[in-house]
Chain A
Amino acid sequence: MKQKNIFISAIIFLVLFFIAAVAVYKSQQPSTVASELLPALERINAPVKGGSKAKVTIVEFFDPACGTCSQFYPLVNNLVKKYQGKVNVVMRYAPLHQGSEDVVKMLEAAHLQGQFWPAVELLFANQQRWVEHHVSNPTSALAGIKTLSLDHEKLDRDWQSSKVAKTIAQDITDGQALKVRATPQFFVNGKPLIVFGYDELVSLVEEAVAEAY
């Protein structure tokens, strides 16, 4: 009997200790990005949607090949629409999938022609055509983007240019600094979405709107 008691007490102790450790860790997590990291959230000329004078900015690190990003796309759009003029969303590239690095370059090249949003919408909607087993196929993605009305020659030139490569490299560096290890990763006015989920994102945005207006 004694041994059984020891065993059961050990289990109870370990479980309680684990729960306590999680609680302590969570309570010590900063709810805001460290101030020296705040510049990493921004990049001039990053694709943005929503009011230019909005006081609430959602920064989304995304990968066009990421299924969850595609599912969140209409949801984030809804948020921007719901708080018209008050909320905008900035997209930053986080090509975590194999092959995605070229695809985000193509998106950035489309952005240079003012076609980022149609291009990203198209890629999200047709993911199954150019993403196979979580590996991006840049050739298919490019063919998809070219169905949009844009300057094909300029697109081809741009996506392989060092200027676009530099932009992507900047986003990757910033993502690493902000510890973006999964996509989509959201920051609302510098506050990271700690527990992932749509409702959590909505309440983070609601709080920010309430604070700013």
Chain B
Amino acid sequence: MIRKNDNPPSTDETAENNRCWYLLFFAWLLATCGTLISLFFSEIVQLPICVLCWYQRIALYPLVVMLPLALFPYDDKVIRYAMPLVIFGWIVALFHVLVVAGVIPEAAQPCVKGVPCSEIHFTLLGFLNIPVMSLLTFTFIWALLAFSKKSFTRT
């Protein structure tokens, strides 16, 4: 938070600080929405969870707790800590999308017999299945964190 009374920062700097705060905030918002949506599908709709989904959850869920700690006060170090998780999740999501698309053959996927990861449970707008949503989420979080870092270092 910016204390306006002592040491008033220049308007430009406040705007920039605000900007990186909001970018981080939106990254958190995205991670939290993704978490709630994935929990909705597994706990309420009771879709089975395949191994690849679990790996993506491991990367996504900690962000929900981690990012807010860096919002008050804004702490750009969190980007350094969060990035490995985001990149890991992004790679697994990409792998999952390729498995679903059939680019990676069935035999190469590390899934248990019961719940094949190549199975699609539902699709929105003709292309938006759960792995694609996950890949988009990780991509946006990655971009938001990168922009947040960039605008912070500039100030």
Contact = CB atoms under 8 A, between A and B. Distances in A.
Interface of A: 1, 3-4, 6-7, 10, 14, 18, 21-22, 25-26, 96, 181
A14 B35 CA distance: 11
Given A4-B72, A10-B29, A14-B32, A21 B1 contact: no
Interface of B: 1, 21, 25, 29, 32-33, 36, 40, 44-46, 48, 68, 71-72, 114
17 contacts: A3-B21, A3-B25, A3-B71, A3-B72, A7-B71, A7-B72, A10-B25, A10-B29, A10-B32, A18-B36, A18-B40, A21-B40, A25-B40, A26-B44, A96-B114, A181-B46, A181-B48
Max chain A Cβ within 10 angstroms of own Cβ: one of B21, B44, B68: B44
A181 B45 CA distance: 12
Given A7-B25, A10-B29, 16 more contacts: A3-B72, A4-B1, A6-B25, A7-B71, A10-B32, A14-B32, A14-B33, A14-B36, A18-B40, A21-B40, A21-B44, A25-B40, A25-B45, A26-B44, A181-B46, A181-B48
Nearest to A13: B29
A22 B1 contact: no
Contacts of B21: 3
A3 B36 contact: no
Contacts of A26: 44
Chain A interface main SS type: helix
A92 to B, nearest CB: 18
Nearest to B26: A10
B153 to A, nearest CB: 20
Q: Which 3 A-B pairs have the closest CB atoms?
A: A18-B36, A22-B44, A25-B44
Contacts of B33: 14
Contacts of B72: 3-4, 7
B112 to A, nearest CB: 9
A101 B68 CA distance: 48
B79 to A, nearest CB: 17
A4 B73 CA distance: 10
A22 B40 contact: yes
